[in-house]
């Protein structure tokens, strides 16, 4: 019938179902990856790996990794976008000096 709008099915019956206790189906064709044991890694390595990580002093490493020598700056998306657009345009102009962008 051309004059009547199409009926939209009601989803009330499905909305009333409690799916909070349903468990998702496990993925099919899943291949588990075997994590190598420390002994297996030592066999392949020429140097023995440490067996007790508590005896290793990593303070020098962590002192370098955690050092931050810059101040926190709040990001303003619009100004960052404008700055990036300007840099891209400047780069284009320096690569192709004969092709200037049209003036607006």
Give the tens place of pLDDT for each residue, 17-72. Answer: 677 788 888 878 777 788 888 778 777 777 766 667 777 888 888 777 766 777 88
Query: 48 with 42: CB under 8 angstroms?
Result: yes
Terminal CA-CA length for the chain: 53
For residues 99 and 89, the model is more confident at 89
Angle (CA) 84-88-92 rounded to 5° is 170
Task: Give the closest residue to 49 by CA, choosing from 64, 37, 35, 33.
Answer: 37
Query: 101 with 93: CB under 8 angstroms?
Result: yes
Total-model pTM: 0.28
């Amino acid at each position: 019938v051309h004059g009547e709008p199409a009926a939209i099915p009601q989803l009330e019956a499905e909305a009333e179902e409690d799916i909070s206790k349903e468990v998702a189906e496990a993925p099919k064709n899943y291949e588990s990856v075997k994590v190598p044991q420390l002994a297996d890694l030592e066999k392949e390595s020429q140097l023995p790996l440490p067996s007790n990580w508590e005896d290793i002093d990593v303070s020098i490493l962590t002192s370098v990794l955690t050092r931050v020598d810059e101040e926190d700056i709040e990001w303003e998306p619009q100004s960052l976008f404008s700055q990036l657009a300007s840099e891209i345009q400047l780069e284009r102009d320096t690569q192709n000096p004969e092709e200037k962008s049209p003036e607006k």
